[in-house]
Structures are given as structure tokens and as C-alpha cells.
Structure 1
Amino acid sequence: MLLQKESNPGLNTITAYGAGYVEINGQPYQNPLHFGPEGPIHPWPIDDIKQLTLAALREIAGIQEAAADPMAFLDDTPPTANTDTEVVLIGTGSRHCLLPQSITAPLLRLGIGVEAMSTPAAARTYNILMSEGRRVVVALIPPQDAE
């Protein structure tokens, strides 16, 4: 399905998707990948959503370990992350799959939204959030059948 006829070459825009591929700025990709509005498009070693781990989710979000404050418990300071990501979208392929709370809760505690949906829905949502200037990243497993 064609999403965008034109794309801003400075931003990673999902221009189409279909059975077995996702197209970014007119370039088709047949393998899972993750990216944000700017920067490189990275291969993603997850081809089944059941393989997703907290470590993989943290990598997609760009979270780097911050030095823990050993006294933070005294003032109920919420945890912080060294990332500017607001939302992580996960395209689960042709079908929507829920992510385990054990994977999403740590990011939610950091104030980072995590949403899983079918890859076509994630592609459309990413383009909207990206065009609004939101700090969004997306990881996509190409759908296996056309919508």
C-alpha cells in the first residue's frame, strides 16, 4: 500500500508497505529494521515478536545506562533515561500482538510510551507522529500478507 507519494529526503518516511517489505523514502526493505525520523536505518535481528527482549527494546529507544543515584529512594525520584525518545512503536508483522508488561513497564516508568500494533498500523502511526515533530522511533517486522 502506498502511503506517501513524496517524502522529505531529510527525514525517514515510510512511503509504502506490502507483503514481505516496508519502503522507506522509496527504498524497499525485506528484513526487520528500526529507525527514527533522522539518522540511519538499522537492521533488527527480531523476525518474530516473541524474540523481543527488554534489552532490544532499550536499544531501539536509544536508552543508555545512567549512573544510578544510590540516594534516589529517599525522595521518590523517578528513574531517568539518557534518551530523547518519547514513543517507541513496534510493528509486529501482519497481526497485532501484545507485548508482555515485563518488557514495557521499565520504559513506561521512564516516561517513554511503548505501543505494539500490526506493521501497517505502526507505519501509518509513525508517519503521523514523525510529521508532528514527535520524538518517535519505530521497529518493524515486514507484514507477510498484504492488507
Structure 2
Amino acid sequence: MAKGIVIREAHFPGRAPIDAYGDGGFRFADMSHRGSLLCLPSGIHGWSAEEGAALDVELFERVLAEAGDIEVLLVGTGREIRPLPKELKAAFRAAGMTSDPMSTGAAVRTYNVMLAESRAVAAALIVV
């Protein structure tokens, strides 16, 4: 059998505050990750979203799959605040979540506070 590097989906199986962000990535739980993140009840997952890309329901499928455990979804839209499309906000509402778009930096700070308060919070963070 050939041995080689096995590429796995980026996933941290727990909840952790974000210690740092910027320069193309995030630091949390004594680790670093390059790219965007979804911070969900099931853990912290790598996410394909990029700054400026369309924000559509398909991009948030993993979030919607865990909607029953999320009351508030913070959406870090990059360096600047971008409004969420009506269809996306409607999908979040239908799933029982409130959504709040903000810059990624503000979303990280808010996520950390709400996580420390043991709130049912999740964050979708587009890398800056």
C-alpha cells in the first residue's frame, strides 16, 4: 500500500473562542487555520466563503443543518459590513435563527462574548 498525506476537511470538534484573526486566517485552541470558518455547535469547520463572494443559501447549508441548536448567527462579512440577501435572511428565520451581519472583526468579538455567556451562538466568519 502506498503511504501519503491524507487531506481531511478542516474541523475542530469543540467550541472555542477565537484568539486572533487577520492576515488570511484565524487562531483558536492553540491552533491556526488559513481561510474562512464556521463556528457551530458541532465544532469549528473550515469554510469555502471568500470576501466579496455571493452570500446564498447553499453557502450556509452546514449552518442550516444545525439550526435547531443555534439561536443567533453572527455573519462576519469581511472587512466591511455587507447586508444579507432577503432569501438568506428568510431561510435563517424559517430555521428559527436570528442573523446579524457585521465586519469579521466585530463578529469575532461578539462571538467570543456570547460564547463566554454560554449562549446558543454560531458564527460564519469570512477571512480577512
TM-score between both structures, scaled by the size of structure 1: 0.68
- For 2:72, give the aligned amino acid: V
* CA deviation map 1:66-111 (0-9, x unaligned): xxxxxxxxxxxxxxxx612101111111111111112112222443
> CA RMSD for the aligned pairs?
2.0
CA distance in 2 between counterparts of 1:58 and 1:40 reads 15
Match in the other structure for 2:47: 44
Aligned residue pairs, count: 115
Identity among equivalent positions (%) equals 32
1:1-147 correspondence runs (5 A): 11-36=15-40, 39-63=42-66, 83-143=68-128
Alpha-carbon shift at residue 58 of structure 1 (Å): 4.0
Q: Which moved more, 1:134-143 or 1:104-113?
A: 104-113
Assess if the C-alpha contact under 8 Å between 2:25 and 2:33 holds in 1: yes
Which structure shows the higher strand fraction?
Answer: 2
- For 2:25, give the aligned amino acid: Y
Distance 1:60 1:138, change over 3 A: same
Alpha-carbon shift at residue 49 of structure 1 (Å): 4.6
**Mind listing any 5+ residue stretches in structure 2 that lack a counterpart?**
1-13
